Each structure stands twice: as C-alpha cells, then as structure tokens.
Chain A
Amino acid sequence: MSTEARPLIIGSSPHIRVKQSVPDIMFHVALALLPVAAFAVWSFGLSALLLLLTTTAACVATEHTACLIARRSTTIRDWSVVVTGLILGLTLPPSTPLWMAVLGSIFGVSVTKSLFGGLGYNCFNPALVGRAFLQIAFPIPLTTWTPPDLPGRFSSLLPTTLTFPFLRADTAALADYIRTALASGGVDGWSGATPLSMWKFAEVPQFESLPRLFLGSIAGSTGETATWLIILCGLYLIARNMMNWRIPAGMLLGAFLLSGAFWLSDKTHYPSPMFMLFSGGLMFGALFMASDMVASPMTSAGVWIYGFFIGMVTVIIRIFGALPEGVMFAILLGNAVSPLITSATQPRTYGLVRQKRWIKQ
C-alpha cells in the first residue's frame, strides 16, 4: 500500500509528549482520595458515605449546569470537579446536613470556578471556598463533631444528616443519639470535641496521644482523621509526579518550626509540634488542598514560600484565633498571595543579569 492513500500528518514540534494529561492527573488525585474516603465511611458510617456522594454529585451537577449556561461543551469529564466534590465532602463534619453540603458545593464550584472561567482560572481552591462559606453561614452544625466507630453507624443515619433544607440542624438530637449509641457500646460521656478543641477550650489543655492521632480513632472532619492513610495516599501522588512535594513539605516544615518555637517557650500550654502536624486537617490540607496546582505559585522557590506561609498562618490561627482549626483559612490566604509569590520569585533567565525589581507589573 502506498502512503499516498493516507496523507502524511504535519504538525509543530515536539512530536512526542509525556503520557500524562490533565484528566489523568485529576483522575489519579480522585483515586488517591478514595482510600481516605473509604476510611471515612468505615469510621463514620452511612452518613459519611451519603455526605461524600452528595458533595460529589452536587459539584459535578453544578459544573455541568454552568457549562450548559455558558454554552460550552461540558468539562466534567476532566475529573477535576470530582476531586473538588470529594475534597469538600472530606472536609465537612460527618453530621453535616446534606442540604448544606449541596449549598456549599454549588457555592464553591459556581462562584470560585465557573464564574472565573472553569478549570485553570480559579484563584482559590473551590472546595475550600465552599467550606469557608458553610463555616461562616452555619457555624454550629459545622463545629458539631461525631465520635468515630459509633455502634450502629452502618444501620442508621445521624439525625442531622437528613435535616429538611433551610431548617436548623437539631444538634441536641444528635448529641442524644451519640450518647445513646455510645452507651449501647458500654461507653459513657462524650465531650463532643476534637483533639484540637480539647486542647484549646478545655480548662487545662488536654493533648490527645500521638498514636491515636496518627491512626485516626478521633473525632474530626470526615476525611481528616486518618493521618497515616493521608500520608500514604499523598506519597502515591508524589511518586507519580502528580503533586509538587515541595508544597506539603514546606507547609509541614513551617507549621513544625513555628509550633516548635511556641512549645519550647511553654510546654504545658502549647502543644508539641507533632501534635500540631497530626491533629485536625493539617495533613489533609497539606497533601490535598494546598497542593492544588491551579491556586499555588509556579516557581520552585515560590512554592516553598507558599507552603511555609500556610503552615505558619495555620499555627497562628490555631493558637491565637477564635477557632481551634486554621488550615482552611490559611490555605485560602495562601491562594490569595500565590500570584504575588509567583511574580516575585521569577527565576533569572539564562544569560541575563538579574533585574532589580521585586514585582513585575
């Protein structure tokens, strides 16, 4: 057969490419989140499962609708919105009413992502914006916690999960439900606190033991408890070159150093740096939220600064702020300064003398 029958293809160099495309990356991030999600369902039961499914479905639906309105071909197939949905679900408390989860999904995806032009144009992490919105709009349900491994978690839902839209979530009923369930398992008393709030708000600061923090048998947001699993899944992404390892490294280092300084100044009042790293959403935030490519700086030096900044702001909010947890706002602040960091850390072009200006216009 002669080649004349099929015309030759002409195209611009390079003629070969790496195999990883955007959907591949997003798909693998979603894949890496699945073990975390599975652990969450194991710990918190049906409510967590329903919550994760709801946020994912709501985010996908929001993106699809936004594309329809903008008359573009739908972009849900690039998996990025699935990642957003999963992350949002994993950062909410397991008892979050589903209608709030839907509201947060719609707000996060539409305001942060679609309005700015979709994937690649969002300056903030959409999942975090959704969560921040919920945190501010509904502070009480968003700081009501459920203990892990509750008896009967696979047979019934938490009472607040199915709250009718725009009705107040009945947190008192939730507390009753938890007490009854715990009693049936032979445990009494439930303070309703996460390790961070036990340290921050208790009369005498209590420090949860590190092994429990590490293994995840603690209360907290759906997906933030199993530190070991989060680290493993993050390492998988780093190994596949789908995440910039410098971001979590910088963030953990920043948090470690600053909290270490506080700890050395007063060991009874301030928690140890390891407690800081393994409690709350810091590990999950470092590996899965701060590392969001779109909203982080583009230079290697910038990425270290960005990580360090987020880590330190987290510690400052945790120690001095009104809330026990500061990861979410720290990352959002980091997102806000990341374009600035990028332009301030542009490397020297080969063969040029470094220019003496900090910020390019």
Chain B
Amino acid sequence: MLISALSIAGGVMLLLGLLLAAVLAIANKKLYVYEDPRIDEVEAQLPSANCGACGFAGCRAFAEAVIRGEAAPGQCTASSADTVESIAAYLGVDAGVGEKRVARLACSGGDNVARRFAHYEGRYSCRAASLVAGGGKHCTFGCIGYGDCVAVCPFDALHMNEHMLPVVDEAKCTACGNCVVECPKHLFSIHPISHQLWVSCSTRLRGKDAKAACAVACIGCGLCAKAAPEAVSMDGNLPVVDYGKNEFAVREAIENCPSGAILWVERDGRRVLGVKAAAALEKVLNPPEAPLKKTSASEAEQKSEVSG
C-alpha cells in the first residue's frame, strides 16, 4: 500500500519534472538570442568604469560597437595602452590609438593668489555656492574651490590642492569629461597632451581690475600673442590659442607673460611658468603676509554635511 502510494507519487513528480524540462528546453531553443561571445571577452578587458568618454552608453555598448567595427579599441580612453593593444589583437583590428587626452582647468587662482572677499555659508558645493552671489571669490570667472569636480571624477584623477584649487593627475585622467559637465563655471575642457601652451585664466576683466581680483589673472597685455603671432590671438582681453596651428604655439609665448596666466604644460602634466611670471608670483607669495587662511568655518560646514 505504502509502496504503491509512494511509487504513484514518485511517478507523478517524475512526469511533471520531465514535462517542465521539455518546456524549458523548447523555450530555450525558441527564445534563444544569438550573442557574439566576443562581446563578453572584450567587455571583460574594459575597465567597467562606464564613464561614457567613448560616446557609448557604458562599456558593454562600447564592446558591441568595437565588434561591429563602429569604434576602434583606442577610443576607450580609460583603458591602458596594453589593454587597447590586447583587445585589438584579440579582434584582429587596428587599435586606433589616439593621442592621450586630458582635462585642463582654465584657472590658476587658488586661495593663495585669488581673493575670497565674501564668506559663503551653506551647502559645501561649487554648484550651490555659484548660485549664491557667485560664490564669494573676487574673481567671478574663476574656480570656486569646493571640489564638485573631484567628487564626480571616477578615476581619482582630480585632487584639491592646499589652496582649494583642483589639480589634474594627467596620468590617471582618461578625458571622460565628467568634470567638464560638472563645473558650474565651465572651466574644464578636454585637450590632447600635445596642446602644451595653455591659457590658464578665464577672466573677462582687464589690467588693474583683473589683477585686483587675482595675482595670476591675465591682464590682457598681449605679449604672448606677440611672441607667437601665428597661433595666439587676443579675444577681448584673453589670449586664445589656435590649436589648429599647434606647431606655432611655441614655448617662447610664455616667457614675457607678467602674471602667469599663460603657461606651458609638460607632457607629464607639470605646469611651467615663464621666467618673469615665476618671479612675479614669488614676489606675491613671499614676502607678503602669510598665505590667506582657509576658511575654517567652511570646513565645519563640510563636516556637518557629511554627518548629516
């Protein structure tokens, strides 16, 4: 009795199991979508940062595009050269490695040189401060210094220096462009590292007014444009480098700059000032009074934000 009951039960379960297995098997065949196995392979090698710098919606989309031949492996700026080579070799395509590109900040006005003349109280963020009377820095065009760009950098390539100015670590920067979007003053732009002559100021003010706001502000003297006339021209009071004629953007352009607003970026990311500018800056920083103290209250704000 017991045995027969058990065997009936077991039999029913077995049949049911077989039936369901059959359904699954049919569904698997019917609903199967072919997916190129190489997509997984390529995606595995990509950095999974999903930063979007390649112009595709994430690393998988990029991998698919590479396999379709719509993108070159080198368009992934977040991957190292080795990775790009390895993907190219795996797929047997051209790596299409472009020149390394990085984010550049068009401002040098840290707290040591640019005056902060009103004290901002509120949420510790550039975006928030910029909506409150511009953020309180005397130069209303320059960096506010609360580090929104650092917060959005997925590659740890941005850091605030001791004067509340962001510094790009060009080795780590992948030109993903997050900081370009985030900066409320629109000070970041993406450039190949061969663009070495760099106007590191965004002021629209002229001469005395610009100088009053920031010691390294461009005063619009035009000496750089004279030194490299083919590549540098003046737009209002700011020099503009025409990178289409990058070969004419020579290092001599920075030598006469009195303030250090135009500078030379070495391929390793070091920013080099002209001789005159370096001397002028030295005069500003020492001997005068001790460098401006960082606002301790704003740090307290930050703390309360974090704890809250």
- The answer to whether A73 touches B131, judged by C-beta atoms less than 8 angstroms apart, is no
Contacts of A7 in B (CB 8 A): 116-119, 136
User: How far, in whole Å, are A10 and B122 apart by their CA atoms in the complex?
Assistant: 9
Is A352 in contact with chain B by the CB < 8 A criterion? no
- The answer to whether B122 touches A11, judged by C-beta atoms less than 8 angstroms apart, is yes
8 Å CB contact of A10 from B121, B123, B307: B121
Is B303 in contact with chain A by the CB < 8 A criterion? yes
A73-B303, A73-B307 known; A10+B132 contact, CB < 8 A: yes
User: How far, in whole Å, are A115 and B64 apart by their CA atoms in the complex?
Assistant: 42
Is B2 in contact with chain A by the CB < 8 A criterion? no
- The answer to whether A10 touches B128, judged by C-beta atoms less than 8 angstroms apart, is no
Is B264 in contact with chain A by the CB < 8 A criterion? no
8 additional contacts (CB under 8 A) given A10-B121, A12-B122, A12-B131: A7-B117, A7-B136, A9-B118, A9-B119, A9-B120, A10-B132, A10-B133, A73-B307
Contacts of B307 in A (CB 8 A): 72-73, 75
8 Å CB contact of B121 from A9, A72, A73, A75: A9
User: How far, in whole Å, are A11 and B135 apart by their CA atoms in the complex?
Assistant: 9
Chain A contacts to B: CB under 8 angstroms: 7-12, 72-73, 75
A72-B307, A73-B303, A73-B307 known; A12+B119 contact, CB < 8 A: no
Contacts of A73 in B (CB 8 A): 303, 307
Q: Total interface residues on B, using CB and 8 Å?
A: 15
Chain B contacts to A: CB under 8 angstroms: 116-123, 128, 131-133, 136, 303, 307
Q: Which residue of B lies closest to A4 (CB)?
A: B117
Binding site secondary structure of chain B: mixed
How close is B299's CB to chain A, nearest CB, in angstroms? 14
Contacts of B303 in A (CB 8 A): 73
Binding site secondary structure of chain A: loop
Most B-side CB within 10 Å, residue of A10, A12, A72: A10
Contacts of A9 in B (CB 8 A): 118-121
In the complex, how many residue pairs between chain A and chain B have their CB atoms under 8 Å apart? 32
User: How far, in whole Å, are A12 and B128 apart by their CA atoms in the complex?
Assistant: 9
Contacts of B136 in A (CB 8 A): 7, 10
User: How far, in whole Å, are A10 and B131 apart by their CA atoms in the complex?
Assistant: 10
User: How far, in whole Å, are A244 and B136 apart by their CA atoms in the complex?
Assistant: 40
Contacts of A11 in B (CB 8 A): 120-122, 132
A73-B303, A73-B307 known; A8+B118 contact, CB < 8 A: yes
How close is A244's CB to chain B, nearest CB, in angstroms? 23
A73-B303, A73-B307 known; A8+B119 contact, CB < 8 A: yes
Contacts of B131 in A (CB 8 A): 12
Contacts of A12 in B (CB 8 A): 122-123, 128, 131-132
How close is B139's CB to chain A, nearest CB, in angstroms? 15
Contacts of B119 in A (CB 8 A): 7-10
Q: Which residue of B lies closest to A8 (CB)?
A: B118
How close is A48's CB to chain B, nearest CB, in angstroms? 35
User: How far, in whole Å, are A11 and B136 apart by their CA atoms in the complex?
Assistant: 10
- A-B residue pairs in contact (CB < 8 Å), sample of 14: A7-B119, A8-B117, A8-B118, A9-B118, A10-B132, A10-B133, A11-B122, A12-B122, A12-B123, A12-B128, A12-B131, A12-B132, A72-B307, A73-B303
User: How far, in whole Å, are A9 and B303 apart by their CA atoms in the complex?
Assistant: 19
Q: Which residue of B lies closest to A74 (CB)?
A: B307
How close is B223's CB to chain A, nearest CB, in angstroms? 33
How close is B164's CB to chain A, nearest CB, in angstroms? 15
Contacts of B122 in A (CB 8 A): 11-12
Contacts of B117 in A (CB 8 A): 7-8
Contacts of B116 in A (CB 8 A): 7
User: How far, in whole Å, are A129 and B123 apart by their CA atoms in the complex?
Assistant: 35
Q: Which residue of B lies closest to A13 (CB)?
A: B132
User: How far, in whole Å, are A166 and B118 apart by their CA atoms in the complex?
Assistant: 62
Q: Which residue of B lies closest to A72 (CB)?
A: B307
Q: Which residue of A lies closest to B115 (CB)?
A: A7
